[in-house]
Structures are given as C-alpha cells and as structure tokens.
Amino acid sequence: MLLALLLCYAGWAGLCLSMDRHFLHVSGRPASARHRLGLRLGGWLLLGASLWAALPGHALGVGLVQWSALLMFSALAWVLLLPYRPRLAVWVAGLGLLASPAVAMVSL
C-alpha cells in the first residue's frame, strides 16, 4: 500500500504542476510547454503505476477499492498541503518518488 500511496501522491503532484497557475504558484516562473507536457505525462504514468502497485496480493475487488481510497486520500493531502507549504508538498512528492524503488523491492 505504501508504494501505491507514494506513486499516487507523486502522480497528483505531476498533474497539478502541469497546470500553469499551480506551477507558477510553486516555482514563481511560468511553465514552458515542454514542462507542462512532461509533467502531465509523468503524472498520468505515475497514477497508472500506482494501480499496478496496489493490485498484487489482494483479490481484484479489494485491490481496486484500496487503490481508489489511496487516490482520494493522496489527492486531498496534496490539495490541502499545497497552498500552505508548496515547497514541502513538492519535496514530499519528490522524496516519495525516489524512495519508491526501494519500497517496491521490499514490498512486492
């Protein structure tokens, strides 16, 4: 579950930052078209990866429910953290992403 959570959170971060207003809020600079595309693509890929990480070890139904729950929880966590501590929110996403291969090896 931890791996799926980290990937979800990073995925939401990517999708969010691919939007002009949020990228600007976090970095102070507007996003280039390449940034936007990369972040959007990366975001979707990470969300997909989180599904792949959430399913093993459970019946399909249970795995899907867990994935949905993690998606909703991580989205809310990101959105509530972003306006107060934008840098921290992004750091958590980045660190989570870095940690995920290690988490994957331990849990899968």
Partner 1 sequence: MKEAFRQSMAWLHTWAGLIFGWLLFAIFLTGSLSYFRMEITQWMQPEARLEVVDAGTAIGLAQRYLEQQAPKAESWFITLPDARQPAIGIMWVNHDGFVLKRLDPRNGAELPVRDSRGGDFLYRFHFELQMPYPWGRWLASGAAMLMFVALISGIITHKKIFKDFFTFRPRKGQRSWLDGHNAVGVLVLPFHLMITYSSLVIFMSMVMPAGILAGYGDRPQGFFNEVLPVSDAPEAAGQPGTLAPFGPMLEQARQAWNGAEVGQVEVYHPGDRNASVSLLRRSSDGVIYDPGTGLLLQGSSGQVLSATTLGSWPMRIAGGFYGLHMGHFATPILRWLYFFCGLAGTAMIGSGLVIWLGKRQLKHAGTAVLPFELRLVEVLNIAGMAGLVVAVGGFFWANRLLPVALAGRAGWEVNAFFIAWALMLVHAVWRRGRRAWVEQLGLAALLFAGLPLLDALTTDGNPWRYLLRGDWLMLGFDLAFVGCAGLFAWAAWKVRRAGLPKDSTIARRERVRPARTGALEAEMN
- Which residues of the chain form contacts with partner 1 (CB under 8 A)? 1, 12, 15-16, 19, 21-22, 24-25, 28, 59, 61-62, 65-66, 68-73, 75-76, 78-80, 82-84
* Minimum CB distance to partner 1, residue 70 (Å): 7
- Nearest CB to partner 1, comparing residues 2 and 104: 2
* Minimum CB distance to partner 1, residue 19 (Å): 7
DSSP 57: T
* Minimum CB distance to partner 1, residue 97 (Å): 18
Taken in order 21, 19, 52, 55, the sign of the CA dihedral is: positive
Q: Say how many C-beta atoms besides its own lie within 10 A of residue 9's C-beta.
A: 25
Plot region of 19 (φ>0 → left; ψ -120 to 50 → alpha; else → beta): beta
